[in-house]
Structure 1
Amino acid sequence: MYYRKETNKIDEVCLLAGKIMLQSGAETYRVEDTMMRMARSFGGNDPQCYVTPTGIIFSLHGAEKTKLLRITKRTTNLNKVIIVNNISRSISKGNISAEEAYKTLRQIEEGNPEYPMFITIASASIASGFSLIMFNGGWNDFLSSFIIGGAGFTCLIYLDRLLNIKFFAEFLASLLIGLMSYFFIHIGVGHDLSNIIISSVMPLVPGLLITNAVRDLMAGHLVSGLSKGAEASLTAFAISSGIAIVFSLF
């Protein structure tokens, strides 16, 4: 009875660690590797793990008592990925028990170790402004790109929470960016329309998703790599569609 209880706790620890990492933007191969290392450190006999962007299949002892965990929401929070990696290293060194690891992981899952909203939006604005300079834009358009990029990213955040419809928030955010860019040009605040639009949409571009897709493909995870690549392509299509509609209107 004690063995079964301990086995269930190890299963829960590995699955929870994989869930947090996958929901926080970690690569598929990294999630599998972390779960396998944790299982072996706890004495798992032939652990098996199969991870896709939408689910985790895990067994601590081969095909015995295989468990499935569904993943429905994915964001980008690399801080959580780093914390789980540190817990995995502590487990490998024998510095933490399964019970302690589970409690810590639950705190990470329920907590929200993110930057405040105003810092996130300010970072998007700064990235947009200096992206314009990187694209050989003029300093006279820096303020326009700064404001529009921040407004577009704010729109993305709140619409994603409100609508919870994949790709639609990106589409509306890019549509707002296009409309604001034309407005700033019309009132004389902005000067180079193309550079303002390109730099303002940079915070919306799924750069991490594209990187993870390539890394998963290189690691041999073809299903995950192709699915993430398709998601990144559709996100890019939604962004470009919003800008294209603005160009067609004006």
Structure 2
Amino acid sequence: MGKEQLLIDICLLAGRMMAQAGAETYRVEDTMTRMAAAAGFPNSQSFVTPTVVMFNLEPMYTTHFARVNERGTDLEKIALVNSISRQMVKGEINLNEAQQMLKQLDEKSLSFPAWLQVVAAALASGSFLLMFKGMWIDYLPAALIGGAGFIILLIAHYLSKVKLFAEFFASFVIGGLAVLSVQFGFGRNLDLIIIASVMPLVPGLLITNAIRDLMAGHFMAGVSKGAEAFLTAFAIGAGVALVFSFFV
């Protein structure tokens, strides 16, 4: 494999990993162009959307692309890819070493275990209830319902692979459990319990990245991420609204 093709593979791999981990579009493009410039190609071109990463070393070279099939949130992986790119820019590692390090990182699963994510979602739900000036008596219902909703989210996403359906079903379960908890006297404030419990489902990072991409001039990526965030919020609201139409 020639130097040019090796560099293309490295840049595409780094870009795809960052896009899948939830990095901003301008950050992905900047990382790829810096890595290419460090290898002697200062005029490289990159174009990134939420679903594809395209890269070209020079006008005379063929444009290559990598498909982004899944997107999530993994800030640690973004930081590690950036660290590898900085080492490459500083000349601390060569192309072969960078490729090996990126491949090893790509094969690793840096996500927290499912049980820890559920515990964090439960604690976050209870904490949001207090932040919204709820009563301490509703802390436990909000925490348990938020944790249960996140479990449903993980299961539904694993079974269906459709993010919007998983979020709709999780919010529907949260709404149903919240209504039952109030009806049986376990909870008091239905509105605050539901609002706090769905907070772990809210696409906060997606909204932030959409705004940052728009501010950086990446209108296509910003609008598409904003649309995805809107659909996610719609799915969450629709799930709760369906419960209210039946039981409230």
Deviations 1:57-76 (A, max 9, x none): 10112351210111111011
SS of residue matched to 2:47: strand
Letter in 2 for 1:142: Y
Is the Cα–Cα contact under 8 Å of residues 25 and 49 in structure 2 kept in the other structure?
Answer: yes
Pairs within 5 Å for 1:220-235: 220-235=217-232
SS of residue matched to 2:141: helix
CA deviation after TM superposition for structure 1 residue 166, in Å: 3.2
Is the Cα–Cα contact under 8 Å of residues 48 and 63 in structure 1 kept in the other structure?
Answer: no
Letter in 2 for 1:111: K
CA deviation after TM superposition for structure 1 residue 235, in Å: 0.3
Distance 1:34 1:130 in 2: 36
Is the Cα–Cα contact under 8 Å of residues 178 and 242 in structure 1 kept in the other structure?
Answer: yes
Is the Cα–Cα contact under 8 Å of residues 45 and 62 in structure 1 kept in the other structure?
Answer: no
Letter in 2 for 1:164: K
Letter in 1 for 2:22: G
User: Of 32, 35, 47, which aligns to 2:32?
Assistant: 35
CA deviation after TM superposition for structure 1 residue 157, in Å: 1.2
Alignment partner of 1:194 is 2:191: yes
Deviations 1:15-62 (A, max 9, x none): 000000000000000000000000100111510101111101101123
Alignment partner of 1:15 is 2:12: yes
Alignment partner of 1:155 is 2:190: no
Q: Where do 4+ consecutive residues of structure 1 move more than 3 Å? A: none
Query: 1:64 maps to which residue?
Result: 61
Query: 1:184 maps to which residue?
Result: 181
TM-score, normalization by structure 1: 0.97
User: Of 131, 135, 140, which aligns to 2:137?
Assistant: 140
Distance 2:163 2:148 in 1: 20
Deviations 1:91-112 (A, max 9, x none): 1110011111111111111110
SS of residue matched to 1:57: strand
Distance 1:136 1:151 in 2: 22
Deviations 1:206-236 (A, max 9, x none): 0000000000000000000000000000000
Single out whichever of 135-144 and 39-48 deviates more from structure 2.
Answer: 39-48
Which residues of structure 1 form unaligned runs of 5+?
A: none
Distance 1:249 1:11 in 2: 55
Query: 1:166 maps to which residue?
Result: 163
Pairs within 5 Å for 1:63-102: 63-102=60-99
Letter in 2 for 1:133: L
Which residues of structure 2 form unaligned runs of 5+?
A: none
User: Of 96, 108, 111, which aligns to 1:114?
Assistant: 111
Query: 1:104 maps to which residue?
Result: 101
Is the Cα–Cα contact under 8 Å of residues 20 and 109 in structure 1 kept in the other structure?
Answer: yes
Distance 1:11 1:228 in 2: 26
TM-score, normalization by structure 2: 0.98
Alignment partner of 1:48 is 2:45: yes
